[in-house]
Amino acid sequence: MTVNILIFLPVIAALAVLLFKNNAAKHAALAFSVAELAVAAFFLTKFVPDASVQFAVDVPWIPKLGIYFHAGIDGISMIMILLTTLLVPLIILTTYKHQYKNAAAFYALILFMQAALVVVFTALDGFLFYVGWEAALIPIYFICALWGGENRIRITLKFFIYTFSGSLFMLLAIIYLYLQTPEKTYDITHFYNLSLTIHQQSWVFWAFFVAFAIKMPTFPFHTWQPDTYTESPTAGSMMLGGIMLKMGIYGVIRWMIPNVPLGFYNWQSMTIMLSVIGIGYASIIAFTQKDGKRLVAYSSIAHVGLIAAGIFVWNNEGLQGAMIQMLSHGINIVGMFFIWDIISTRLNTRQISDLGGIAKTAPKFAIAFLIIVLGTVALPLTNGFVGEFLLLLSVLQWNIWMVTAAGLTMIFGAVYMLRMYKKVMQGETNALTATFTDISGSETLVLSIICALIIVIGIYPHPILHISDAAVKELVHSVNIKTYQVKP
């Protein structure tokens, strides 16, 4: 069995869902997404946690141009596959109490986007990686533009321009690397083996960096994110924050640093500084937010800034922290967006100042909300803790002042998240919140799964770390060998 089934099953599912209407489309999409999760779980049972690429497919696509359909899974890819296949059925399940106009198209776009994301996380051919990267943009554009808020057209256009422009820089970098290979191939192993000068690698580095920094996003390429997350339908925000931004982080790990290690080393200090600035900037802005969903958007920028800083230090702790934190962040942000979707659906507002006392009328909701908040602020024994600990440890090995700045701003994050929880859930109910009803049905199921994952991963993170450990060590070592001669 090869990775082909993970790539094409969602495509077939998307086409099949178009044949259904309304609730039938919803049920079919959920069934197909659970089937994809089952396939991923089967792959996991057969996966050997070493540094090798497994379940590979490598067939000619456009051989005259050196383009092959080459994809496979190693420990790093496996974490991303688990993230994608786990979150998509949860995201579909969060929509069960909503009715969408042209529901078949809505769910088909989600499944098509899942296929594109799997391509990105498994591609071993530069051209295939670019195709998956661009293919993921198309469905999320239509999801946001057709089912988003009042300002969806303007905001979605800004998002499209940002991400598409960044993609063009990445395409130039991939084509340049292709032209430097003696065999004229897009194969990633040939890219890794190129011997380019520091000057060549520096400009390729920046071409990749712009594309990946926009997608993550990291400071100062983040300005599209808060508006897009806020105006998107909740399922779209979940796909963006839970999975799609991980494309940029994954691209840095797989395609940027190993391809141009000398260029990366030349600009390493600046990338770490930009990441830490992003943590502080987003945390400060989050303090001022009155819209709950927008606050979550800014908190995401801060968390991604820490992930980026840990990666750019480039050591085992940083990459392992990034891997488990990408999984944890995806789970937590889907939970946070769902919390605010429930509130806005019941009360028709996301203004924090309008709320209060909800815990008195919805105790089950209050408990779930608190667990998700604690995971988000990285309380020990929650899923956010081990990743943030490893990332801060990684940055500490680089510079004590950088880790101090990053650590202080993460404390700020805990303050504004807990303050938000207190304002929304505690105190006395008002005329609006007195009518709030507790969670039930699909809401209870989704929040129960998310809370269970937060606790289980927090208590016992070893299985997740073990999956990627060997692949991370191999990648870090190979890059360090290439940069050894220029390091002081």
Q: What is the DSSP string of 22-50?
A: HHHHHHHHHHHHHHHHHHHHHHHHH---S
DSSP for 91-125 reads HHHHTTT---TTHHHHHHHHHHHHHHHHHHHHB-B
pLDDT tens string 291-337: 999 999 888 888 888 999 999 999 999 999 999 999 999 999 999 99
Instruction: List 54's β-bridge partners, or say none.
Output: 73
The pLDDT mean for the chain works out to: 90
pTM passes above 0.75: yes
63 prior amide bond cis, ω within 30: no
Q: How far is CA 329 from CA 133, 375, 422, 460, in A?
A: 21, 9, 22, 16
Mean pLDDT of 332-355: 93
pLDDT tens string 185-223: 999 999 999 888 899 999 999 999 999 999 888 888 777
The residue among 418 and 410 whose pLDDT is bigger is: 418
pLDDT tens string 74-108: 999 999 999 999 999 999 999 998 888 889 999 99
The residue among 392 and 15 whose pLDDT is bigger is: 15
Q: How far is CA 443 from CA 5, 93, 368, 455, in A?
A: 30, 8, 10, 18
CA 266 – CA 127 distance, rounded (Å): 26
pLDDT at 486 over 80: no
Instruction: List 69's β-bridge partners, or say none.
Output: 59
DSSP for 149-216 reads -TTHHHHHHHHHHHHHHHHHHHHHHHHHHHHHSTT---BHHHHHT----HHHHHHHHHHHHHHHHHHT
Contact 381, 458 (CB under 8 A): yes
Mean pLDDT of 455-481: 93
Taking the mean position of all CA atoms in its chain, how far away is CA 394?
20
Nearest to 160 by CA among 131, 130, 138: 138
pLDDT of residue 485: 53
Nearest to 92 by CA among 82, 79, 103: 103
Mean pLDDT of 112-134: 95
All residues at 6 or more sequence positions from 221 whose CB lies less than 8 Å from its CB, including other chains: 162, 166, 210, 213, 214
pLDDT tens string 229-239: 888 899 999 99
Contact 409, 283 (CB under 8 A): yes
CA 296 – CA 215 distance, rounded (Å): 17
**What size, in residues, is the chain?**
488
Mean pLDDT of 256-274: 91
pLDDT of residue 488: 46
Distant-in-sequence contacts of 470-474, Cβ < 8 A, 24+ apart: 470/49, 470/50, 470/51, 470/75, 471/50, 471/51, 471/74, 471/75, 471/76, 472/75, 472/76, 472/316, 472/319, 472/320, 472/323, 473/51, 473/316, 474/51
